[in-house]
Amino acid sequence: MVFLGNHLENDVPPNRFSQVGYGFFLGYSVLFLAVITGNKLTGAVFWPGLMWFLVFFSLCGGILVWRDRNLRERSTQTPKIAHSGSTKLLMVIVLALMSVHVVFFGIEVLTQEVYPWDAWIAWVYRAKAWFFAGSMSAVVSSADWVTAPTAEIYTIQAWRYPLFPSVIPYWAALSQGEWSETLVNLPALLAGMAIGMALYGQCRENGISVIVSLITCYLLFSIPLFGTHLALAGYADIWMAGYVGLGFIALIQGVLRQKTTGQARTQLTIGFLMITFSIIVKNEGAVWLLAAIAMVILATWKPRNIIILLVTILLLTLLGLSLGVHFIEFPLMGRLGFVGEQLVIPFIGEFPLEIHDIRDSYWNNFFRMGSWNLLWPFVTATLLMSLRLSFIMPNDRTGRTVMSFILIFAATQVFIFGFTNQGLWADTYTAINRLPLHFVPALLFTVAVMAKASMKQSYIDKATAEMSSGKA
């Protein structure tokens, strides 16, 4: 029990590693908004002016933290734990193994030029074009590019992709004063390290022991697909793993801390903010935001209210279809429903509904092949443990919250690849791996949380059995 950690305290001091990890991604969000705003207002990206803004913004944040006496006091209240010699040795081994992974990621980033995959022809290409053009030139469709009256515009197949993954290497090149095929990918490596720090910090804030928190971080860096997106940087999915994965961790923490209103509100706010920011990274962010809302509802609402909501939605849908109403037009949002043979969702787009048999694709990618290591057996075991805990202790939020997250995650993947035209990306073994990567930090967090909760329940059951036998 000590090995896994203690129970979730009602007033846990904020962990410095968690603050740094989340601060990294929120800081890059501010940088992105500053770059886009400055370019819109002036028609150019003025590096010195933006740097002065970032320095001023950072100073203001530092002053606010310094003036928050309560936050300073709580940050120094973390108790120091005396570890045994064997535990310290295990910690050193885990840190050494984790360092080996990070070192090799760093070597790849610093020596491997932008790899010729989608990053090469989409996100990084756009950043390189901006740098050599001297401004954030328009990137348009091939038809508009052919008929353009000027040569100062560019085209790529993925010209509609969000700008964030291109702004980051563009800013890196501006900061260096030259274009480097290797150093522009350094922010992606730092993003991976920030994800690990935030994951560790959130595990500690949940009451999980230092050694298990470190092992959880090691499991993150040992996932081959996660390491690939760090070593061959330039893709957008590692940033999605930060915004979406860490966002869901914060939501889970917020739900578990409902009794401590202030901390719960802070975690929920950060969680929704992170997932909302993911929309500027990849279009899937809008889908994950809907999934986040559904997860919080499933984890916090009474089952009766959830059933009433689902039945109401089903009846209204059937009533509308019987009356010939196939979609609803929302002001400023767009259509929701069926237009022709396509499902239309506001802010997300249109999806032709198709049925794909994806069982073999998931079995091969998640269990037979080596891209994920042992992640999915761990997640499967975690789901089973959460179902058992929810049945044994229906008033305990841990099992229900973990179960809600994993079920919502699974539902989104099955719907996207099993019932829409996106199932073609499952057959090619591409997006079926990239989209789950966005959730990896949160999935590992639930594995650690559920392991601690199950150990605690086993301890309680054992103590209860001993008391019962003693009375007998």
pLDDT of residue 23: 94
Q: How far apart are CA 247 and CA 241, in angstroms?
A: 9
| The pairing of beta strand 327-330 with beta strand 154-155 | unpaired
Q: 232: closest CA among 69, 71, 109?
A: 109
Please list the helix, strand and coil fractions of the chain in percent, rounded to the nearest 5, in that order: 70, 5, 25
**123 token code pair:** 């996100």
Q: 268: closest CA among 279, 257, 259, 277?
A: 257
pLDDT of residue 456: 76
Q: How far apart are CA 383 and CA 403, in angstroms?
A: 6
Q: How far apart are CA 124 and CA 452, in angstroms?
A: 42
pLDDT of residue 149: 81
Digit-coded pLDDT (tens) for 36-95: 999 999 888 999 999 999 999 989 888 887 776 665 555 555 556 666 778 889 999 999
Q: How far apart are CA 408 and CA 428, in angstroms?
A: 24
| The pairing of beta strand 327-330 with beta strand 334-339 | antiparallel
Q: How far apart are CA 40 and CA 36, in angstroms?
A: 6
3-state secondary structure (DSSP) of residue 231: helix
pLDDT of residue 410: 96
Per-residue pLDDT of the chain (472 residues; tens, 9 = 90+): 444 555 444 456 778 999 999 999 999 999 999 999 999 998 889 999 999 999 999 898 888 877 766 655 555 555 566 667 788 899 999 999 999 999 999 999 999 998 887 888 888 999 999 999 888 988 888 888 888 887 778 888 888 889 999 999 999 999 999 999 999 999 999 999 999 999 999 999 999 999 999 999 999 999 999 999 999 888 899 999 999 999 999 999 999 987 666 788 899 999 999 999 999 999 899 999 999 999 999 999 888 888 888 888 888 878 877 777 777 777 766 777 777 777 887 767 777 888 899 999 999 999 999 899 999 999 999 999 998 888 777 777 899 999 999 999 999 999 999 988 888 888 888 889 999 999 999 999 999 999 998 877 666 656 666 666 665 5
Q: Is 262 exposed, middle or buried (0-12, 13-18, 19+ CB in 10 A)?
A: exposed
pLDDT of residue 66: 77
3-state secondary structure (DSSP) of residue 140: strand
Give me the sheet containing 327-330, strands edge to edge: 327-330, 334-339, 342-345, 349-352
Q: 165: closest CA among 32, 335, 356?
A: 32
Digit-coded pLDDT (tens) for 158-169: 888 899 999 999
